[in-house]
Structure 1
Amino acid sequence: MGCNNKRALVVTLLLYYSSTNKHKPISIPTDKLSECGISRQTYYHVIDSLEKEQLVQTIKEPGRKMKVKLLGATEEFK
């Protein structure tokens, strides 16, 4: 699967999990990423690029899994 396809898949998963959690910061379960053929490294690379584009904000706490908050368009659908 190409890099753009994996990026689109990560974005789709972010939208899905964000909508099911009332647009609160979320983390995608590692087993779900694996099931979709996405490595943790690819996931973090995509999140990094989305953060640079100011589409997401990451929340990192010591000893905890990174959480992601979607910015922008999803705010309108709360």
Structure 2
Amino acid sequence: MSISIQNVDASNVSQLSQIDVGNAVRTARESYGYSLDDLAVTCGLTNREISDVEIGADTDPSKIRRIAAALQIAPSEFLSI
């Protein structure tokens, strides 16, 4: 079974967190020159929510999709960075 942001459910969240999506999110954000504040304004999440995603404490697919949309990249990019 392949894992993508679209097919994540409660049964495979632990698999997703093992892929280190948080580090990929941080890397993408920094490569675009966004601060946490910049990304928060752009995607409508709070700094804390983004920080939780980046440290791997939150792997909510809807938040990851919002971050990807704000960075104008496909959510799957976080699985391959």
Provide TM-score, normalisation by structure 1.
0.30
* Structure showing the higher helix proportion among its residues: 2
* Structure showing the higher strand proportion among its residues: 1
Higher relative contact order (CA 8 A, sep 6+): 2
